[in-house]
Amino acid sequence: MLNFALLAILTADPEAEIKSLTTSYVQATLDFDLKTFDQVFHTEYMEVSPVGSVDNRAQIIKSYDYPPEKRPPAPSSFALSEWLIKFPTPDIATLTYKQVYTLTRNGQPTELPLRISATWIKTDAGWKMLLQQLTPIRSRT
């Protein structure tokens, strides 16, 4: 769940606010937290998945709507780094960052690195994620 007191403090720093919202969103993917998705996504949200499909807001939220006993295994943790945020206008932000999920496969920890690009727009309700593209980072070995 988003910490609205923290967001109020960060409002004067849009870069920090977008990083905080992004971190909350990624945590929500591990927690199957549909309320956070609803708060973070713009009504016109679209996502380009790692396999190339394009999904809208409702499709993404539905893809996480499982009862706890039927949820697929979620990664155990994540790390975000290599943040790059640009503001072409005061109400639009483009963001790229590296996200690494850690999950267990065959009893061993495995890292799943992704490069993510997102477009955020400032609305009357605050910053909202409008578009996101997730690209797997392939090993060069």
Query: SS3 sequence, the chain?
Result: CCCHHHHHHHCCCHHHHHHHHHHHHHHHHHHCCHHHHHHHEEEEEEEECCCCCEEEHHHHHHHCCCCHHHCCCCCCEEEEEEEEEEEEECCEEEEEEEEEEEEEECCEEEEEEEEEEEEEEEECCEEEEEEEEEEECCCCC
For residue 46, being part of any structural domain is answered with yes
User: Per-residue pLDDT for 4 more than 90?
Assistant: no
Over the Cα atoms of the chain, what is R_g?
Answer: 15
CATH code (residue 62): 3.10.450.50
Confidence of residue 71 (pLDDT cuts 50, 70, 90): confident
Local confidence band at 117 (pLDDT 50, 70, 90 cut-offs): very high
pLDDT of residue 3: 60
Quick check: pTM over 0.75? yes
Any domain includes 130:
yes
The CB density around residue 1, as the number of other CB atoms within 10 Å, is: 11
Number of domains in the chain: 1
Residue 53 has pLDDT above 90, yes or no: yes
- Flag whether 73 is in a domain: yes
Q: Is residue 51 part of a domain?
A: yes
Check residue 106 and give its pLDDT: 86
Tell me which residue range forms the domain holding 28: 4-136
d(CA 9, CA 26): 21
